[in-house]
Amino acid sequence: MIATAEQKTIQGIRVPVARFTDGILPWQYEVFRAFDERRARFFMCEIHRRGRKTTCGLNMLIRECMRHQNTPYFYMGPTYKQAKKTVWLDPNMLFSYLPDRSIYPWEKNESELYVKFPTGCLLQILGGDDPDSLRGPDWGGGVLDEWALMKENMWTEILNPVMAQDPRRWMMFLYTTKGDNHAAQMFDKYGCIESPVDLPACGATTKHLSDWFCTRLDAEVSGIIPKAELLKLKERMPTAFYDQEMRCARVTVEERALITSKLMESLRLVHKTDLTLKKIISCDPSEGNDEIVIMYFESGDVKDMKILHTPAIADNIMILSGHIKNMAMEHDCYNVIVDAIGCGAGVSGDLRLDKRFNVQSFKGNEESNEPERFKDKNTEAVWLTSREMRQGEVDPIEDIETRRQLTKLTCQVNRNGQLQLDEKKVIKKECNCSPDRGKAYTMGRYGLRNVKPGSGRGSTGKKRRKKKQRSAMAA
């Protein structure tokens, strides 16, 4: 049980409530104990997925709101929408840990997302997507959940000056690692980590700066997740992602990409010859100053590629459709997959009017075929491409820019345990451009799964040719 706090009651209610204290984990207990013994005000908690980070933070907030008078506290997620979904709408989170309302009459405000306690304290739910909008408010303490996904200046410029005003104010940083970014660097600084051997696999650091408490949790050591389930996760997830999400490893940016330079280089050594001919044309009709990419695939190889620039086309559906038709006739390939978002929907529709074509409309933000594994089809397409590469089913990629862009398609594991590509703006920033060639490539690989072996003509075209043959024989 929690030292000091387990004895304290408010109108017969334990603080925190029994639902938390009865199942408290060792690492959570150590955090509360360090807090209650006034050994620390600031807590860096580098914890694996499903290690009950959010649960710990919420119960600390609830407890402090019940113990103090007229003090504002906050819970903050990476975005307001994510914070609301994680702790306000999930019936197993915030409201499941609040005391019985009939005994302890707290109030909630649905529009502004805060809970008001009989003590006069407020617990507000916030998002970290706009740090500047949070300048000004005064706080007694708070929890930054998924700190590795937030902007560093949220602490350095905005919250740190507020906390420095009073030695009783506190802050909790909860996160799973995302490379060697500001979160890991803060952990190393305040936990006095001088080399990787100083990082504890499970538990608090042996040293720390004054007022700081730093703890880590490796899923293979913590015992929170059953070993059998960890084995399943290990089989389903790329090694780098498993190490990051489950073992809190600080993987590099490229290691977070499903397709790495090393993987593509290996294709020159392990490529398998595929005697089954499958053809498809992939098109990503980008907008603005981005490239429009049209790629022609023959099984594992890109045999032809045309790069167009949108200012010259200005979203002209007929011109773009014409370029695809020209490539189709040149290679006798009428299987096409088109990114059907934006002007791509018009291109897809125009091609469908031509009965020779078998058109797949690809919408990357739609639910994937395996929603328990992938956030959307874009992520699934990248994953399938990487799997084909690992199995040697893809020819070496000769275009240098396509190769470079593929290594920038970085991913993360979201709160639902799904693999999810990083936001487009993050990938564009890392890539210094829109990854249009990478997108066209993975989309083409995705589309080839739905193509039957043969000349590359769509099913409608085959029926049409058979009809002509029957007519000729009858004549």
So where are the chain's domains? 5-237, 254-460
pTM of the entire predicted model: 0.71
Q: How far apart are CA 464 and CA 74, in angstroms?
A: 66
pLDDT value, residue 3: 36
Question: Per CATH, is 254-460 categorized as 3.40.718.10?
Answer: no
Beta bridge partners of residue 284, listed in sequence order: 293
Q: What is the pLDDT along the chain (475 residues), one digit of tens a residue?
A: 333 433 456 666 677 888 898 899 999 999 999 999 999 999 999 999 999 999 999 999 999 999 999 999 999 999 999 999 999 999 999 999 999 999 999 999 999 999 999 999 999 999 998 888 888 788 999 999 999 999 999 999 999 999 999 999 999 999 999 888 999 999 999 999 988 888 998 999 999 999 999 999 999 999 999 999 999 888 878 788 899 999 999 988 777 888 988 899 888 887 666 668 899 999 998 776 788 999 999 988 999 999 987 666 656 888 899 999 999 999 999 999 999 988 889 999 999 999 999 999 999 999 999 998 899 999 999 999 999 998 888 999 999 999 999 999 998 888 777 889 998 888 998 888 999 999 999 999 999 999 988 756 654 444 444 444 554 444 4
Q: Are 42 and 211 within 8 A, CB to CB?
A: yes
Q: Are 52 and 103 within 8 A, CB to CB?
A: no
pLDDT value, residue 312: 62
**CATH number of this structure's domain 5-237:** 3.40.50.300
